[in-house]
Amino acid sequence: MARIVYETLPVPAVLEHTIEVPAGVVTFGVEYRHLDESTILAHFGPNAEAKFNGGIRPAGMAAVVEEDGLALHVFDTATGEERLRFDCFDDAPHFHLLDPGPPRNVVVEHDPADGRLLDQAQDWLRRDLAGLLREAGAGHLCASIDPEVVGAAVGVVAQVAAYVLAAGRPVRVR
């Protein structure tokens, strides 16, 4: 799997579109995510591309970003910091290993030949949440992970994800 390392964090979760599922030391978030050029510009400003290694993008991500799909987030429950994100997009599925300070964002491309990222992410969260958190620089959380709590929470995440995908893109109320 190809990896790209950025020294800036991605556009954060839109919390009003994110359903949170407590899982002990971490909280999972399920969000139907829409990412486009205007969202990126609003978050990073007019020099956004320079913040991403001169415009290096994950494979499959178009020169003009217009992505929709489900995102699974893993937040540190105590701090609220996002440590993992699985962007289960149709065109460029990938996941992020996130370390807020100093900012480090490792984007790992997902090969659709390996199956749906959504299914794989849920499996990884059940089987190797600690390993993923260590890779993201959050090893301090690992000793407090309760596999039973995480397993039950991932079951809820699967149900919420099915609902969110069926509901589709949220409509902004103005």
Q: What is the pLDDT of residue 56?
A: 58
- Whether residue 71 is contained in a domain is answered as yes
Give CA–CA dist 169/34, Å, rounded: 7
- Whether residue 77 is contained in a domain is answered as yes
pLDDT of 64 above 90: no
- Whether residue 99 is contained in a domain is answered as yes
- Whether residue 172 is contained in a domain is answered as no
Count of domains for the chain: 1
- Whether residue 53 is contained in a domain is answered as yes
- Whether residue 7 is contained in a domain is answered as yes
- Average pLDDT for 60-77: 79
pTM check: above 0.85: yes
Computed on alpha carbons and rounded to an integer, the radius of gyration of the chain in Å comes to: 15
Q: For residue 93, which of 119, 60, 64 has the smallest C-alpha distance?
A: 60
Q: What is the mean pLDDT of the chain?
A: 88
- Whether residue 74 is contained in a domain is answered as yes
Q: What is the pLDDT of residue 119?
A: 96
Reading across the β-sheet that carries 94-100, which strands appear in turn? Answer: 3-6, 103-109, 94-100, 82-89, 66-76, 26-36, 18-23
Residue-range definition of the domain harbouring residue 44: 3-167
- Whether residue 174 is contained in a domain is answered as no
